[in-house]
Amino acid sequence: MRWIFGFLIWALPVTGLAEMGSLLGGGAFGQGRTPLFQSDKTTSSGASLFAGDAAGGLLAPYPVRVRVAAPLTPTTAPASNAVHRIRNIIGEAESPRAGYDAVQHGAAIKPRKRPTDMTIGEIYDWIAATPGQPHAIGRYQFIPDTLRRVVTKVGAKRSDRFTPALQDRLADVLLADAGFRDFVAGDLDPQKFMNNLAGIWAGLPTSSGRSKYHGVAGNRATITLAYFRSEVAKIRPS
């Protein structure tokens, strides 16, 4: 654990790549809706969904990942800015409207409070009380298994509130899985890094231009590959 330019960054050993639902590995469930963006940023309508296990078999199995993620330890201001920019890209794809208070719209029974007003324990209780529906929650659309894993990793407690700051901490665990440090250091090809991210968040396009989980429970990329590449290029030009 290290404080880097105002961010608390965590590293995470990985046994599964895309659990979809956190800054690199959570998942969301989705159904059709109006386009999220316009012009070259936007593709077809529909919420992006995370890959993972869920009640009712709505999600695909997590892809297997054998590489152990390196710690997220950027040491320059540009690298710190890169974390912020990547979080924003993911937020645009996964929760462009509600942001940190997003709840997957396919959930028939929503929490009684805004997510940022809930504690981790209250979120767990909501999940337990509403089986059989999608539970992706927050800016990074954490699904239950992913949420529990990253909460444990950062040492958060049931009594901790699901604040924007905590959501960012949890998401950074997943960014580490995607190879953020290697990408910033120039040791990971931008397109490979983008594909790693797309393996975690279904709203992001792979190099094919489509979501890795296209068609699974309504999943589709919600930003275009051209826009995704242009934003990543601002972080580390090829």
Task: Say if 9 falls within a structural domain.
Answer: no
Domain around 129 = 14-66+76-233
DSSP 150-171: HHHHHT--TTSB--HHHHHHHH
Q: Is the residue at 4 inside a domain?
A: no
Residue 149 lies in a domain: yes
Phi, psi of 176 (to 5 degrees): -60, -40
- 7: in domain: no
CA distance 97 to 33: 12
Look at the alpha carbons of 28, 174, 88, 189 in this order and tell me if their dihedral is positive or negative: negative
Q: How many structural domains comprise the chain? A: 1
Q: What is the DSSP string of 91-146?
A: HHHH-TTTGGG-B-TT-SS--SS-GGGSBHHHHHHHHHHSTTS---BTTTTB-HHH
pLDDT tens, N- to C-terminus, the chain (238 residues) = 444 444 444 444 333 333 333 333 333 333 223 232 333 444 433 333 444 433 333 333 333 333 334 444 433 344 578 899 999 999 999 999 999 999 988 899 999 999 999 999 999 999 999 999 999 999 999 999 999 999 999 999 999 999 999 999 999 999 999 999 999 999 999 999 999 999 999 899 999 999 998 988 777 999 999 999 999 999 876 5
6 found inside a domain: no
Q: Which of 79, 57, 59, 70 is nearest to 19 (CA)?
A: 59
Q: Which residue type does 51 have? A: A
Asked, for residue 19, whether it belongs to a domain, the answer is yes
Taking a C-beta distance cutoff of 8 angstroms, is the pair 145, 155 a contact? no
Q: Give the separation between CA 197 and CA 212, rounded to whole angstroms.
A: 10
Q: How far apart are CA 16 and CA 19, in angstroms?
A: 7
